[in-house]
Structure 1
């Protein structure tokens, strides 16, 4: 079993020709991904409500797809409407996604805390973009919001050595390691320090080919217990899949 907790649907503004949901499904078929949690690119980089509603029309395309509702912390009234109208009572939506840079909302701001309080109110695990030391900021935010369940997308990228400290600061924080330029041995290094129960598989597809994330896990030489936890068990438990 393989669950991808960090994927996207829709056209990117980079020089690459991706967009149709068929691209997601082809990558899942090619790499043996059983479930993929997707957020809308339009929602992340341009218009969260429009992107969420566009993704709602795509999710029925395949039973292996699950939705991650994009939250723009600058537009929380609209986010609440999306949570009420799209997510409530619909088990195809399983989480939320917040990109701090495209929304121009640092993790340390009151608006970000309000966004996390909102997703927590609706019971949604929330994947938050982290880069650099912001992985520690997310840990502090997780500790401040009781009941929140947060996933550090990219687990700080080049600041991955901060993960053990982030894990120490908050026990309601998980880590997702996809990165376009991964350093060698980082997965093994982190597993040896925090164990396998806080790490989960993500690809950043369709921006990054899933082979990058899968190669990093292969290089880490996971034990059977670690592989089960990272490949699917942690995600299945956190997102109630």
Structure 2
């Protein structure tokens, strides 16, 4: 079945990892059978959102299997709003990305609330880096922004239990479970908490983390074939309006 990865990156990081340009992403995708990947620029996340988004536009123009998140900087909402519109106008960006660690703004801050307003106004899904108990504030933030849909990247990280209950209480919160620590039972816990399979998404954090980690978590979660169909691609296709997923010709293993 098709696979859409909703959490990946293009570019080099400060970590000692094998990361690189868009071709690196494509090689990993071919290795693991990933058809489409939604990416943000490493430069945009950690250093300069506007410059990184501009560099990603060039990559996306050459890589039809990659779609973009425009990174929004909570410290510069007006600049980010204009830049988000520029990115979306290309037709190659389908959502926004907000990190919390690098800009130093968490849910509950005035700056993050303004950044949420920017994305809500644009009308696209938001991939939010989540790591900690601040995820409990997200249902309230979405209640006052009725059109906003938020993917909790890393499903709250070490606060995955709190993230599960937050998502169960708000039908516009989605869970995406990629992280380096594969705590057993995270997906099962979310389902028992009341998160429907329609709001579970597949993400890898590539190329920071090898996709095999997230693929293993999903395969170990006990999904039926019909549920796997939703988690691995259909939920993402519907959320981002991606339509039919192409079946690229991949090299033999």
> For this structure pair, what is the TM-score category when the shorter chain's length is used for normalisation?
over 0.9
Output the CA distance in 2 between the equivalents of 1:195 and 1:168: 8
Does residue 118 of structure 2 align to residue 118 of structure 1? yes
Contact residue 57 and residue 87 of structure 2 kept, 8 A: yes
Contact residue 73 and residue 103 of structure 1 kept, 8 A: yes
Output the CA distance in 1 between the equivalents of 2:169 and 2:187: 20
Contact residue 143 and residue 172 of structure 1 kept, 8 A: no
Contact residue 130 and residue 157 of structure 2 kept, 8 A: yes
Q: Deviation at 1:163?
A: 3.2
RMSD value, Cα: 1.2
User: Which stretch shifts more, 78-87 or 25-34?
Assistant: 78-87
Which residue is 1:201 aligned to? 202
Contact residue 164 and residue 175 of structure 2 kept, 8 A: no
Poorly superposed stretches of 4+, deviation over 4 Å: none
Which residue is 1:150 aligned to? 150
Which residue is 1:54 aligned to? 55
Stretches of structure 2 that go unaligned for 5 or more consecutive residues are 243-253
Output the CA distance in 2 between the equivalents of 1:34 and 1:117: 32
Q: Which secondary structure state, in structure 1, belongs to the residue aligned with residue 201 of structure 2?
A: coil
Q: Deviation at 1:140?
A: 2.4
User: Which stretch shifts more, 55-64 or 66-75?
Assistant: 55-64
CA-to-partner distance for each residue in 1:149-182, whole Å, 9 max, x for gaps?
Answer: 1111111112211234202332111111101112
CA distance change for structure 1 residues 167 and 44 in 2, over 3 Å: closer, same or farther?
A: same
Q: Deviation at 1:133?
A: 1.0
Q: Deviation at 1:64?
A: 0.7
Output the CA distance in 2 between the equivalents of 1:182 and 1:17: 21
Q: Which secondary structure state, in structure 2, belongs to the residue aligned with residue 197 of structure 1?
A: helix
Contact residue 72 and residue 84 of structure 2 kept, 8 A: no
Q: TM-score, normalised by structure 1?
A: 0.95
Contact residue 178 and residue 203 of structure 2 kept, 8 A: yes
Output the CA distance in 2 between the equivalents of 1:226 and 1:96: 26
Contact residue 5 and residue 38 of structure 1 kept, 8 A: yes
Does residue 119 of structure 2 align to residue 105 of structure 1? no
Q: Deviation at 1:145?
A: 1.6
Q: TM-score, normalised by structure 2?
A: 0.91
Contact residue 138 and residue 152 of structure 1 kept, 8 A: no
Output the CA distance in 1 between the equivalents of 2:48 and 2:162: 32
Which residue is 2:177 aligned to? 177
Count residues in correspondence. 240
